[in-house]
Each structure stands twice: as C-alpha cells, then as structure tokens.
Amino acid sequence: MPEFKIKHITRYSYESPVRDSVNHIILYPKQDDYQQVKQHKLKISGNPHVDTFSDYYGNQIGFFTYTEPHTELEICSELRVITTAKELPAATMFSELQWEELQALRYIVPYIDYLKWEAFDGLQELKLVTGERKEAHSSPYTTALNYCSYVFERFQYIQGVTTVQTKLDEIWKLKAGVCQDFAHILCQMLRMANIPARYVSGYICPNKNGVRGEGATHAWVEAYIPGYGWLGLDPTNDCIASETYVRLAFGRSFNDCSPVKGVYKGSSDHKLIVQVIVGYDNGNTESSELAPIMPQEAVATSTTGNGNSYRRHQELLQQIQQQQQ
C-alpha cells in the first residue's frame, strides 16, 4: 500500500487589481476502500471561509469568495493518501448476460448520464472504429481494453495543441492532444458500445517510471464492468489505473471535474500557473515545472476569441512535428 504526499498549487496573477473572486474547487480526494485520505489541508490567499457540499456525482465541492482587491490568488492543496490495488477482473469472466445487464443500465441512475454520447462531425467514423474493435464474443472487459489501446495507438500525445475547451470535433481531426482529450475519446467509444464510462480527474504518482502525466494533474476513464464494478483505464499510457493513481473527482467530462473555476470583477487578462509536487513514502519527491496554463473558461469573466480553431492547431502541430524531426 503506497503512501503519497501531494502538493497542488494553483496561482492566478492579474495585470491589475480584481475583487469579488468567487471560486468553485474540486480538490478533495476520494475516500473509499481503495483510497484512504490520512490528511488534507487547503491554504487560500486571503484565508476565506470555504463551504463544502457533495454534487450529483458524489464529488466534494468547495466554494469560497475572496472579496478584497488582489493581484494574485493562490490555492494550495496538500494531501497525504494511502492507496490499495484493486483486484482485476478475471480474463475468462464473460457471459452474454453481461451485455444484457449493460442494456438494462440504460434506464438506471446514475448510469444513464455515463451512457450519453456526444454528436460531432467524426461520429460516423468513430462508430465504424468502435464496431471494428469490438471482437465477436468479446467481453465488456476485453472490449474496454481494446478501445483503450486504440486511443493510445492512434492519437499523439502533444501538449499545446488543445485546451480544456477543445471539442471532440477538433480532437478527432487532430488525432492529438493530452490526457483529457484521450479520456474524452475513450469515454465516447465506451458509451457507444453501451458500456457506462465516467471521466476521472486526479494524479498519477509512479516513482520515475517515465509515464505521461507523471507528477501532474491527470485524467483517465472508469468503465463499468458487470460483476466487477468500475475499472480504471488510462488511454494516455495504455494501462489499467492501479494503486499509483489518486482520484479527485469523476463525472461526464472535464466540465464536471475541473479542479478550479470561478469568476471575478476586474480585468479579464490574467496568467494561470499550476504546479504539482509528489512525495513518495521512500522520501523521494517529484515536481512538475511551474507551468503557465492557457486561461480556462470559468476563470475569467470574458471568453478568449477564436484562438482554438482547427487551423491554428494544425499550424501549431506542424511546428511541433518539425521541431521533433
């Protein structure tokens, strides 16, 4: 049972003083049989009172207001958590009754929300792929694994070509992105195969294993397998989410799980920096760089133009590919 100490820093800097910053945070780790939260502390600029509640999906949500004029807002979450590996489904576990049970879930809460898939320009292409990757007489478990491998194999992991606002149409055209994009495509495939799928946000904490998303916020998917329960799948690394994954929240998509979002009064120009530091039970630490992040939809009171166009992403993708050659 590994123990992780995680420090997650979110810092907003404004070009001029702002006030009445109202924020919604999902930084509270899940507590269950496979994840024990030993300690969790929040430090927020201005020391505002934080009210908490549980949302429809069972996530703990924090809500606070910073009323005084300020040019910086820092939210620091520190937690200590112990994780336990979940036994995997047996490879031979399969019967036609599993698919029949999945059919029945279409009318049962909460699975209804996790079975709704989104219409987009590449829908027919993805339907074809989903059908081709579902082998005859395959189980929901092996089908989910096949879909996970497909996303890993066909999509390039490239930072900067997408944002949290990027739609499925653009992700499908680019065949590139980062963890939240991989997770959104896998959720879509699973739901189209009638397998409930939920988007998961949290951290991945392997000790210098060199995986994508290590030492930073991460996103993956949980698929519901009849007779087993929720199975974590990471299409960014083509693996099953193990005891090295720490869960914060789950929902239909990133919009349900965004770690921090809010509004404020003042200039819309700001800079967002996020850093995650992971300490292991052997005393080692891993730290992501202080990375500037593009402004997110719920941080500013105004939106950012059309900078998320497919053409712009294609040009950026070509630049990155040329640099890699």
- Do both 124 and 178 map to the same domain? yes
- Does residue 89 lie within any of the structural domains? no
pLDDT class for 138, splitting at 50, 70, 90?
confident
- CA-based radius of gyration for the chain: 20
Q: Which two tokens stand for residue 324?
A: 């890699």
Domain count for the chain: 2
- Tell me the residue type at 258: S
Any idea what the Cα angle at residue 121 is, between residues 115 and 125, rounded to 5°? 75
List the domain range (segments joined by +) for residue 220.
96-249
3-state class (DSSP) for residue 141: helix
3-state class (DSSP) for residue 116: coil
- Do both 239 and 159 map to the same domain? yes
Residues 272-294, mean pLDDT to the nearest whole number:
65
Note whether 225 and 143 are within 8 A (CB): no
- Do both 133 and 70 map to the same domain? no
What is the structure's pLDDT at 300? 31
Residues 73-95, mean pLDDT to the nearest whole number:
88
Contacts 24+ apart (CB under 8 A), 55-60: 55/256, 57/110, 57/198, 57/249, 57/250, 57/251, 57/256, 58/250, 59/26, 59/28, 59/248, 59/249, 59/250, 59/251, 59/256, 59/257, 60/26, 60/28
The span from the CA of 281 to the CA of 237, in Å, is 23
pTM of the model: 0.86
For the chain, give the percent of residues with pLDDT over 70. Answer: 82
Among 73, 102, 75, 46, which Cα is nearest to 226's?
A: 102
DSSP string, 166-192: --HHHHHHHTEE-HHHHHHHHHHHHHH
- Do both 68 and 137 map to the same domain? no
Residue that is last in its domain, among 202, 224, 249: 249
At residue 286, does pLDDT exceed 80?
no
Domain at 134, CATH number: 3.10.620.30
- Does residue 59 lie within any of the structural domains? yes
At residue 167, does pLDDT exceed 70?
yes
- Does residue 88 lie within any of the structural domains? no
- Do both 132 and 241 map to the same domain? yes
For the chain, give the percent of residues with pLDDT over 90. Answer: 71
What is the structure's pLDDT at 282? 56
CA 20 to chain centre: 28
